[in-house]
Amino acid sequence: MVALGCDQGGYELKLEIVKYLEEKGIEYKDCGTYSPDSVDYPVYARAVVKEILSGSCDKGILICGTGIGISITANRYKGIRAALCSDCFSAEATRQHNDANILAMGGRVVGPGLAVKIVDTFLNTPFSGAERHARRIHMIDNEE
Ligand code: RB5
């Protein structure tokens, strides 16, 4: 299950992502926002984080104007690894190396065609499982 969240800067792009998920038959939970009206992105970042940390969803997609504010917020939470991506190479690498559980994008940065390819790459790339990557991921949340 994929959790979706956005502010007004990501609202239009989220609709494109929803279209893609429905075409592919991928289950999702839309945590809002549900209109182009101005809202505060931390609210939607936290809603998606909650879905992941509770185990209800295994991945999330967050979109604001730049993808920056919403990913900064998500990354405040232990266990969350939100990757801001504007290209497919990064989306693939962050799944393989960082086991990223949230993809963040900028609705004012990437066009819908590229965004859908980034989502497709992110959702379909497994974590490599390599010991060095697992060790580094462990180090993100644990100082010693
Ligand atoms: C909202 O105008 C904008 O600041 C927000 O979408 C995002 O880009 C913040 O990082």
pLDDT digits (tens, 9 = 90+) for 57-76: 999 999 999 999 999 999 99
Q: Which domain holds residue 44?
A: 2-141
Residue 22: pLDDT over 90: yes
Distance 68 CA to ligand 1 centre (A): 8
Which CATH number goes with the domain that contains 98? 3.40.1400.10
| Residues that are catalytic | 64, 97
9 lines ligand 1 (CB under 6 A): yes
| Global pTM value | 0.97
Number of domains in the chain: 1
From the alpha carbon of 72, which atom of ligand 1 is closest? 10
Query: Which residue from 8, 23, 52, 7 is spatially nearest to 119, judged by alpha carbons?
Result: 23
Band (5; pLDDT cuts 50, 70, 90): very high
pLDDT at residue 144, as a whole number: 72
- Of all atoms in ligand 1, which is nearest to the CA of residue 64? 6
Averaged pLDDT score across all residues of the chain: 98
68 lines ligand 1 (CB under 6 A): yes
In contact, 29 and 1? CB cutoff 8 Å: yes
Going from the Cα of 13 to the center of ligand 1, the distance in angstroms, rounded, reads: 14
Asked if residue 7 lies in contact with residue 36, where contact means CB atoms within 8 angstroms, the answer is no
Other C-beta atoms within 10 Å of 23: how many?
Answer: 9
Structure tokens at 59: 């991945």
Q: Between vectors from CA 112 to CA 53 and to CA 33, what angle results, nearest 5°?
A: 45
